[in-house]
Amino acid sequence: MEQTKKRSFSAIQPSGTITLGNYMGAIRNWVKLQDEFECIFAIADLHTITVRQEPAKLRAHSLELLAMLLATGIDPEKSLLFCQSHVHQHAELAWVLNCYTQMGELSRMTQFKDKSAKHANNINAGLFTYPTLMAADILLYKADIVPVGEDQKQHLELSRDIANRFNNTYSDTFTVPEPYIVKAGGRVMSLQTPTAKMSKSDPNENGFIALTDPEDVIIRKFKRAVTDSEAVVEYREGKDGINNLLTIYSVVTGKSIEDAVKEFEGKGYGDLKLTVGQAVAAHLKPIQEKYEYFMKNKDYVAEVYTKSADIASKIAQSTLRKVYKKVGFLQK
């Protein structure tokens, strides 16, 4: 890939069924960035095993995620789409970066604190060094921007610190990446606990909308969404449930929040929930049809990720070679 445009890198974990939160916070924007940037997308399977996975499920989730990304509009003619474990340089650079990252920095990461609380019986070293692998993902490709949801901001800041530290210790090696976080949809909340982010590994399925949920399930989940007792559709602080519904509605319909609020003037929460559910189902329908198509054409999906990994590996190797030289390894 000859680089003329600025580069974007992002990844997503195959840790479950992709949600409306992943779509609104990340994937929807990935699709849009493809013309302006040279985009590289990875399935972060190495990151996913920081939480124990059933092997058959991990394999299935990875394939489903690839098919879903293609269905949402990731175009292999324009972008690379591959599995992180297929490009061995990710793990190799992560090792080097581990030696340039402090324990104190890693122990301040809120995701580490949250996940170690959630998985108290498996606080493994990989969960702790998760952010250095993420830094390796980004820095290998000299990405200028990293489109992610709000929850990844802290990891991105650490990636920037690691890049600067390495550059200052040796000489300019890494591009210092900028986070690219959208305002609307950067943090979609759980439908059941609107103060917590919508998460694909939430054991309560009513908390999230999976992109594969059929229309009746989507509508049912929205009908059960937790709101408040005021019965006025307004967007303001303290109305987490309603704010979340209005944000979702605004993103899937392209209407502004103010227009959405006007539309529901004098109407009750029941109307709002039903309309939002219908709008989400209508928005997801064409994506679901394409998803079915790609799931029936697994050979095509395999061809995409194999070809992409070959190209990615060449870019990654050129960075890794420079890093090995700078730290003082003998050259082969």
Q: Hunting for tokens 């879903």 — which residue is that?
A: 68
Q: In angstroms, give the least distance from the CB of 88 to ligand ATP.
A: 22
Residue 197 annotated as catalytic: yes
- Picked from ligand ATP, ligand LTN, none, the partner binding residue 21 (CB below 5 to 8 A depending on kind) is ligand ATP
Q: In angstroms, give the least distance from the CB of 68 to ligand ATP.
A: 12
Residues sharing a CB contact under 8 Å with residue 211, sequence separation 6 or more, in sequence order: 17, 18, 19, 20, 22, 23, 68, 72, 284, 287, 288, 291
Distance CA 241, CA 234 (A): 11
The number of C-alpha atoms within 13 Å of 99 and in the hemisphere containing its C-beta is: 8
- Picked from ligand ATP, ligand LTN, none, the partner binding residue 137 (CB below 5 to 8 A depending on kind) is ligand LTN
Residue 78 annotated as catalytic: no
Q: Which is nearer to ligand LTN, 13 or 275 (CB)?
A: 13
Residues contributing to the site for ligand LTN (CB under 6 A):
9-13, 44, 47, 134, 137-138, 146, 148, 152
Distance CA 320, CA 305 (A): 21
Comparing C-alpha atoms, which of 155, 174, 149, 151 is closest to residue 164?
174
Comparing C-alpha atoms, which of 10, 15, 71 is closest to residue 45?
15
Residue 57 annotated as catalytic: no
Cβ neighbour number for residue 121 with a 10 Å cutoff: 5
- Picked from ligand LTN, ligand ATP, none, the partner binding residue 134 (CB below 5 to 8 A depending on kind) is ligand LTN
Q: In angstroms, give the least distance from the CB of 185 to ligand LTN.
A: 14
User: Which residue of the set 57, 153, 197, 296 is catalytic?
Assistant: 197
Q: In angstroms, give the least distance from the CB of 103 to ligand ATP.
A: 23
User: Which residue of the set 142, 200, 221, 273 is catalytic?
Assistant: 200
Residues contributing to the site for ligand ATP (CB under 6 A):
12-13, 15-16, 19, 21-22, 24-26, 148-149, 151-152, 186-188, 197-201
Q: Hunting for tokens 């390796």 — which residue is that?
A: 136
- Picked from ligand ATP, ligand LTN, none, the partner binding residue 138 (CB below 5 to 8 A depending on kind) is ligand LTN
- Picked from ligand LTN, ligand ATP, none, the partner binding residue 24 (CB below 5 to 8 A depending on kind) is ligand ATP
User: Which residue of the set 5, 6, 57, 115 is catalytic?
Assistant: 115
Distance CA 221, CA 191 (A): 8
Strands, E, within the chain: which ranges? 7-12, 38-43, 80-83, 145-147, 178-180
Residues carrying an active site annotation: 115, 197, 200
